Amino acid sequence: GPLRAQDLGPQPLELKEAFKLFQIQFNRSYLSPEEHAHRLDIFAHNLAQAQRLQEEDLGTAEFGVTPFSDLTEEEFGQLYGYRRAAGGVPSMGREIRSEEPEES
Q: Site for other proteins (CB under 8 A): how many residues?
A: 44
Q: Which is nearer to other proteins, 33 or 103 (CB)?
A: 103
User: How far, in Å, CA of 28 to CA of 90, rounded?
Assistant: 38
| Residue 53 interacting with other proteins (CB under 8 A) | yes
| Residue 62 interacting with other proteins (CB under 8 A) | yes
Provide long-range contacts, Cβ within 8 A and 24+ apart, for 48-53: 48/3, 48/8, 49/73
The answer to whether residues 19 and 43 touch, using CB atoms and an 8 Å cutoff, is yes
| Residue 31 interacting with other proteins (CB under 8 A) | no
Q: Which one of residues 2, 9, 33, 101 is an interface residue with other proteins (CB under 8 A)?
A: 101
| Residue 56 interacting with other proteins (CB under 8 A) | yes
x/- mask, other proteins, residues 68-97, rule CB under 8 A, reads xx-x-x--xxxxxxxxxxxxxx--x-xxx-
Contacts of 72 (CB under 8 A, 6+ apart): 42, 45
